[in-house]
Amino acid sequence: MAHNHHHHHSHGSGDGDVRMTGAIAVNVLLTIVQVVGGIASGSLALIADGLHNLSDAASLIIAFAARKIGRRGSDSVMTFGYRRIEIVAALVNYTTLIVLGLYLAAEAVGRFFEPEHVDGWMVVWIATIALVVDLVTAFLTFALSKESMNIRAAFLHNIADALGSVGVIIAGIFVILFGWWIVDPIVTLLISGYILWMSFNEIGGVIRILMLGSPPGIATEDVLDAVRGVDGVNEVHRARFWQVHEEAYAFDAHVVIDGGSWTEADAIKARVKAALAERFEIHQSTLELECAAHACNEAPAFGD
């Protein structure tokens, strides 16, 4: 089985903070323009895009705060450090997107039964401005999204909003040319559908990390087979393999040493650790050694 080996290249924290601050500022301003414009023009699609943009601003603020907190080192309370706060932030952002998507879908369905007049020209102009801001925000956060699940959640918020702006522009054009007001709630439904699809597609990986699941792309059975293949190892059991955060994997297990090889136990442990690091990029491993004569009886391969 192929294994995913991740190599992260961190961008300067100062540059990243400036980018995030700029993205937050332009999205807050845009939210005000879109919501006011949507109310004035009667366009639900524009209001929907504005509310989604508000969630963009909120997601960027949450991501920015989590990024700052995540830089703290380990202490007596958080012995693993604070990096996992970014995973929690990603969960909050995706959950918010799901709620927003459901709300917009309900509003769009209601608009089919109670249509309102839509000012097509106002919709097109405001949505065009929104699209430009969305593209600027995407540019500011794209590089950071490659290295952080937290920032990626905020980045995907923005991509969804950019597509929403395109949809709103199309709806406005149909209203101007043909008077087809029904395109407005249809576009709103499409926006909400994309938001929900994207959110459910991404939230699973976040939950997997929070549940201490094994890293995707690496089978735990393969890790155990690699340990068993180290010279001097008789068996391995009670293994736990999890993702501490996006950039760190951890493994602990009971390793049974071959009979007559106990004097080489330290060397065998070193070989196991080297194999884990080389083959799977597992740099945090805790191994409890047992001699073959006194190994745990009928111990499970995984867990306690």
Q: Which domains does the chain have, with CATH numbers?
A: 13-210 (1.20.1510.10), 220-294 (3.30.70.1350)
Q: Rounded CA gap, 278 and 276, in Å?
A: 6
Q: What pLDDT was estimated at residue 233?
A: 94
CB neighbourhood size of 159 (10 A): 19
Q: What pLDDT was estimated at residue 3?
A: 46
* Integer angstrom CA distances of residue 156 from 59, 69, 167: 10, 22, 17
Output the tens digit of pLDDT for each of the chain's 304 residues. Answer: 444 444 444 444 556 667 777 777 777 777 777 778 878 877 776 777 777 677 777 777 877 788 788 888 888 888 888 888 888 888 988 888 888 889 888 888 887 887 767 777 887 888 888 788 778 777 777 766 666 666 777 777 677 777 777 888 888 888 888 887 788 788 888 888 888 888 898 899 899 999 999 998 899 999 999 999 999 999 999 999 999 887 789 999 999 999 888 999 999 999 999 999 999 999 999 999 999 888 887 889 888 7
pTM: 0.72
3-state secondary structure at position 83: coil
Type of residue numbered 259: G
Inter-residue contact 225 to 301 (CB < 8 Å): no
Q: What pLDDT was estimated at residue 147?
A: 65
Q: What pLDDT was estimated at residue 271?
A: 96
Inter-residue contact 185 to 150 (CB < 8 Å): no
Q: What pLDDT was estimated at residue 180?
A: 79
Which residues have a Cβ under 8 Å from the Cβ of 110 and sit 6 or more positions away?
A: none
